[in-house]
Amino acid sequence: MFNSTTKGLKAMVFKTLVKLCQEEGTLDIIVQKARSVEKDSADWDLSLEEKKDLLLSIAKSLDAEGDDGAFSVLHAYLRQFENKDNLSPSESDARRCVILAIKSRSVINFEELLDLKTIKSLKDVSILFSISTFIETSVLILKSIHAN
């Protein structure tokens, strides 16, 4: 059914499908598609607002399930606001993206995140990254000492 849906309706159908799977506790059957929603939706002819809505909805569903893919989808959502004519996302979404980046095992370089104007607007974000880097370094040092 989803594959036969016209491009304009795919975003709505996909969001509904992910939400339904989340509510039923079966998100695992569609989680790979949810993680790749940015790439997959590229040819769905979505307006900027539709794309933002899709990315935020999927990111929140992944985040609610504790899925590591939530960061990349939320990061994709925040990148949609880089055009100066776009309104800013909510501060809570930007802060959540920072938290997900710190928690994620797959994020090692925070520069791409720090370059986003929505993240730059957060006053205390550099402190969070400094603390995270300090903790990661301390853990590595402790592991090294413990191994010897």
Q: pTM for the complete prediction?
A: 0.74
59: exposed, middle or buried (Cβ count in 10 Å: 0-12, 13-18, 19+)? buried
Contact 121, 88 (CB under 8 A): yes
Number of domains in the chain: 1
Residues found in the chain = 148
Q: CA-CA distance, 75 to 16, in Å (whole number)?
A: 21
Instruction: Give the pLDDT of residue 116.
Output: 80
- At 58-73, the pLDDT tens digits run 999 999 999 999 999 9
| Region at 25 (left for phi over 0; alpha for psi -120 to 50; beta for the rest) | left
Structure tokens at 17: 């499908």
Q: CA-CA distance, 141 to 51, in Å (whole number)?
A: 43
- At 49-105, the pLDDT tens digits run 899 999 999 999 999 999 999 999 999 999 888 776 666 777 888 888 888 887 887
Contact 19, 61 (CB under 8 A): yes
Q: Which domain holds residue 66?
A: 2-147
Instruction: Give the pLDDT of residue 138.
Output: 64
* Residue found under tokens 């609610």: 64
Sign of the Cα pseudo-torsion (88, 90, 96, 102, in order): positive
Instruction: Give the pLDDT of residue 4.
Output: 56
- At 13-30, the pLDDT tens digits run 999 999 999 999 999 999
